[in-house]
Amino acid sequence: MITCPLCCEKYIVLQTLCDDCKKVKHAMSLYGSEKVIDVIHTVLVRNDKQIDNKCAIYDKDEENYEKKGGKWILKMGASKEI
């Protein structure tokens, strides 16, 4: 048994991809790889503006949070209010 070369999570026997990754490959054959990658970037990947908007939705005030490495994290000693 070896791990799936795409997801590297599931083990495969006598196959080239696990069942979930086969679905991605099938979508790429139906719609084209460019379309599937575009959907992934449009739907799943967030840019800085989208991240900032999401933070505003959750009302994360800048006194308790700081942006490091593209992620909002709670500052040391700050309390998290819900």
Instruction: Spell out the domain ranges in the chain.
Output: 2-44
**What pLDDT, on the 0 to 100 scale, is given for residue 72?**
73
User: How far apart (Å, rounded) are the C-alpha atoms in residues 21 and 12?
Assistant: 11
Q: Please state the φ and ψ torsions of residue 12, each to the nearest 5 degrees.
A: -125, 150
User: How far apart (Å, rounded) are the C-alpha atoms in residues 48 and 70?
Assistant: 7
pLDDT tens track for 44-76: 888 888 877 777 766 556 667 777 787 777 787
User: How far apart (Å, rounded) are the C-alpha atoms in residues 51 and 56?
Assistant: 9
- Contacts of 55 by beta carbon, 8 Å cutoff, 6+ apart: 65, 72
- pTM of the shown model: 0.52
pLDDT tens track for 10-48: 888 888 889 999 999 999 999 999 999 999 888 888 888
DSSP class of residue 28 equals: H
